[in-house]
Structure 1
Amino acid sequence: MYDDDPAADLEALYSARLDADLEMAEMAATANHIHRLRKQGICTHQSSMGYVHPPVYEQQKQLKPGEQICTDLCGRVFPSIEAMEADAEEHLL
């Protein structure tokens, strides 16, 4: 193969486009799944905020260091971001 091989360039472009199409299809499927869960009232904790001092938002006033609050649907307080992500993963699998 040569550095200036136009067929190789075209193949690389096609491969990159195919990879992007597959990635977009996967993201669309995930978004559709999250939407179905939300319609059922199941929160997947897609938005959250953590403790900060001084608090910037009203929800942060109730948090202790390390805690994370879901600002998506449920408003649940988690002991850590890892605990919140683990709970979200249960629904997303």
Structure 2
Amino acid sequence: MEAQETQQKEELYSLAKKRMTDFIKTNYKDIERINYTDDYEINPMGGIEINGYLNGNKKKEIWGIYDKGNDEVGSFTVDATRKPECEDKICKY
């Protein structure tokens, strides 16, 4: 793999982590810390799948697919409680 390609993937992963962090902190309560694992995967459509956990607890798993084209987290699983105002809809992040 070329260095430029590796750098592009790392930049996409950084962006994905930032947007996932914004998404989680906006929509969920009691989030002190988000840890991401390095096992991300970029799908053929350009989405990037990211994994991690919350507040230092590896049982509080998070998973999401960041869609760069729409600049949003599309599919996601977050083991946390939604904020009341974000229960029925995704709050803007």
TM-score, normalised with respect to structure 1: 0.36
Higher relative helix content: 1
Q: Select the structure of larger CA radius of gyration.
A: 1
Q: Which has the higher contact order (CA 8 A, sep 6+)?
A: 2
Higher relative strand content: 2
TM-score, normalised with respect to structure 2: 0.36
